[in-house]
Structure 1
């Protein structure tokens, strides 16, 4: 299809029409696993998450809220009911129609998903009860987690290697799963088979953001304080020590600093303040703290990202990579990047932090559920396309073969010289008998879209109309459609049309096609019914090009 130039004008009535949301296509081209999907499938994707030990699994949702998975299916993490890998997208019927709000995954892997209604579904690896269903049996299909979450709306989810955490709309945190280092915050190191609320010093706090490292957990409360618990062998809790923490503990070193977001890598932590500043701590063997060296830090340390205000931080518990985006749209990365150690924030050419993980993280997995945001703005051309045959905004009707086609006088006058000369302001209904309904509808739609949608046989009628109305560009489009749809059965009919409408280029094309398929074409009904003069000319011309030579 050609690019659509904006129309030269539009009626006030048409501009009053309601503009429906238009969604951009999600750019997933940098993630290798999407090479298994067809271009048609990719165009429909509106949400996606690449996960797994090597980025070999993916879940995605389409514009129709259908959910598909494909990949290796380790531990049944695709939720298809088995452990069979698949290179063809498989539909998860149990999740179709449920709008996905957020998703996270562990190392097993296991998957935790929340819907926009606040329901939680889990599946996959479950040796440590990380699915929250009270068992240690792997979950091969998505199952809702309801224990202790009844009447709770979950708005955020996070997974460590083998533990899970959710945040509810009323600011409560619930955890379950592996707890060898106190990462579920219960005060013990016993695994937790079902969701339980994290209390201790969070009891009367309203939490606004959560994150998990491999074996630690973090929560930001509404006043900007950060609470941490779990494994601390690399100083990833930011408490100035390396001892594990079995219950939430406030990071005292951030006193007076209001944190908005927290992000966890494998064993390092990033926070973003309300002033757009980054602090980092924890493991640093790949430079993932961005401090210019590879020394671990157990206290929060300032990360200098140019002089611009940072608006987004990114890290993933399966990688040693860090990324940030500034207010001006610049994206920086540091840490383990394609096997190299980048110890200072490095300015990239990317437009989003997601691309850092697609191209440089090991493994290449997503740090969040990647989503397309609705774009409520339509161009003039898109608006007009939606208004074709809309009775609510139209001020003129064509009656063709007993059917109405609703249009706008001003647009027809602007787009077509024929209508400019014949339309009157008092016209309300015009009867059309010269052309069929499909042909005339296609013509009017062309005036709104600059494109035609017709089978080649109907395109002959549209070619007749284009000739009558002196629409030269439309004639070219008709000829192109006819060329693309020619076959042995319709070749003679198309040739006859080309001759009738003096479309010399099309006539030559159809003639060559007939000669190249002469044996079959001469046995068709179209050849038997061929006009006598056209038949004589065809035989004469075919003879001149040697079609009947022995």
Structure 2
């Protein structure tokens, strides 16, 4: 859709298509009248940025149950970015980061109160944050000096501090310097070094940390055989990176061919190259599917297709990567963990330009997004 308009397809059990009375749709539905400049999709809720204010539709799990029709404006004031967790939402605002929603693991950042926080809470120590990422029950932020800090749930080492106690306020992740991006999955995170290496930490049940031994959880370690990454995206239990030559490699959970190599394996280590893709400008790892945008404007997807998340008009399974039939040269691809480890919604928007000058190659957070000068985001 031109000018920042959003359209959705897929499951609608919680109203994530933005309409009432429909379980799912294989045709595009336009739930939002506003022109959005940022879009993120999660398990059962979608959010976009309208005039620097997040608006959300779907199951309003951040502070009350039940579907949200029409899209609801979040009470953050003006925000530069936001990230969606399982039952919480964080926003990057002037002067720091604020969060609301479920706080049972400290993910909202409020000390001593595990209850749902319906009003945004300022997270201590993030006055210099420039980016945020949200996992299921943990969050990470990047400071302007390249440091990565995380807070919330740490049962699987997802804070990267070598303990399992959780943390409020945010704690700096060990052994990470000069980082340029951070992305979070369900219970792990990865960060991109300025050198092109990638470090991951947290849960490794499916090899999502990209290294051996697969049972090691906790402090960060380098992804094997990857030293020239220019962008990363982390899904529920897998990760992908764009290399400097424009090729894509993926690692971790490969049960639905999430790694794109035509196989269905419990885990894949080290990273494998996705065949048939070149000149990739952006990759977005979702819950059970992955999509990539090429320099020509074409979008290709691989992985599960049970609810049409590949965007090819069917719900049939394919072992190979397939083009998204609805995408064209005006489209770009993005995700916010949408159908990443949750969402059954598949949201797409279009942009007026996909030139290198308008695309910011910064897929971040548990929920991916892309930044275009006008708007650009496509999520499954």
**Higher relative CO (CA 8 A, sep ≥ 6), structure 1 or 2?**
2
Q: Distance in 2 between matches of 1:216 and 1:291?
A: 23
Once the two structures are TM-superposed, the CA of residue 320 in structure 1 deviates from its matched residue by 1.2
Name 1:101's counterpart in structure 2. 80
Q: Distance in 1 between matches of 2:31 and 2:17?
A: 13
Alignment pair present for 1:352 and 2:323: no
Q: Distance in 1 between matches of 2:259 and 2:292?
A: 12
Higher strand share: 2
Name 2:61's counterpart in structure 1. 74
Name 1:180's counterpart in structure 2. 155
Alignment pair present for 1:312 and 2:282: yes
Q: Distance in 2 between matches of 1:40 and 1:280?
A: 32
Name 2:245's counterpart in structure 1. 275
Q: Render the CA deviation track for 1:447-476: whole Å, top value 9, x for unaligned.
A: xxxxxxxxxxxxxxxxxxxxxxxxxxxxxx
Higher helix share: 1
Match of 2:34 among 34, 44, 48: 44
Alignment pair present for 1:141 and 2:119: yes
TM (normalized to structure 2)? 0.77
- Structure 1: gaps spanning 5 or more residues: 1-22, 77-81, 376-550
Name 2:352's counterpart in structure 1. none
Once the two structures are TM-superposed, the CA of residue 50 in structure 1 deviates from its matched residue by 5.1
Contact 1:103 1:111 in 2 (8 A): yes
Cα 1:87–1:326, aligned 2, differ >3 Å: closer, same or farther?
same
Contact 1:232 1:243 in 2 (8 A): yes
Match of 1:88 among 70, 80, 84: 70
TM (normalized to structure 1)? 0.54
Cα 1:208–1:179, aligned 2, differ >3 Å: closer, same or farther?
same
Q: Distance in 1 between matches of 2:336 and 2:107?
A: 28
Once the two structures are TM-superposed, the CA of residue 374 in structure 1 deviates from its matched residue by 3.4
Q: Render the CA deviation track for 1:278-303: whole Å, top value 9, x for unaligned.
A: 11111111111101110121211111
Name 1:26's counterpart in structure 2. 4
Q: Render the CA deviation track for 1:379-436: whole Å, top value 9, x for unaligned.
A: xxxxxxxxxxxxxxxxxxxxxxxxxxxxxxxxxxxxxxxxxxxxxxxxxxxxxxxxxx
Q: Distance in 1 between matches of 2:157 and 2:133?
A: 16
Alignment pair present for 1:338 and 2:306: yes
Alignment pair present for 1:286 and 2:256: yes
Q: Distance in 1 between matches of 2:319 and 2:370?
A: 27
Give secondary structure in 1 for the equivalent of 2:212. Answer: coil
Name 1:324's counterpart in structure 2. 292
Contact 1:174 1:198 in 2 (8 A): yes
Give secondary structure in 2 for the equivalent of 1:25. Answer: helix
Q: Render the CA deviation track for 1:489-515: whole Å, top value 9, x for unaligned.
A: xxxxxxxxxxxxxxxxxxxxxxxxxxx
Name 1:409's counterpart in structure 2. none
Task: Answer with 1 or 2: which has the greater Rg.
Answer: 1
Alignment pair present for 1:250 and 2:222: yes
Contact 1:24 1:372 in 2 (8 A): no
Contact 1:263 1:313 in 2 (8 A): yes
Give secondary structure in 2 for the equivalent of 1:59. Answer: strand
Q: Render the CA deviation track for 1:76-135: whole Å, top value 9, x for unaligned.
A: 1xxxxx55653234443x423x1x32222122x2112113x4621111122111112223
Q: Distance in 2 between matches of 1:237 and 1:355?
A: 20
Q: Render the CA deviation track for 1:247-282: whole Å, top value 9, x for unaligned.
A: 11122422xx31111111111110111211111111
Equivalences for residues 371-386 of structure 1 within 5 A: 373-374=373-374
Contact 2:3 2:374 in 1 (8 A): no
Cα 1:75–1:111, aligned 2, differ >3 Å: closer, same or farther?
closer
Cα 1:347–1:280, aligned 2, differ >3 Å: closer, same or farther?
same
| 4+ runs deviating over 6 angstroms | 355-361
Name 2:235's counterpart in structure 1. 265
Q: Distance in 1 between matches of 2:163 and 2:275?
A: 38
- Structure 2: gaps spanning 5 or more residues: 10-15, 21-28, 308-315, 348-366, 376-380
Equivalences for residues 360-399 of structure 1 within 5 A: 363-364=344-345, 367-369=367-369, 373-374=373-374
Cα 1:140–1:314, aligned 2, differ >3 Å: closer, same or farther?
same
Q: Distance in 1 between matches of 2:116 and 2:346?
A: 22
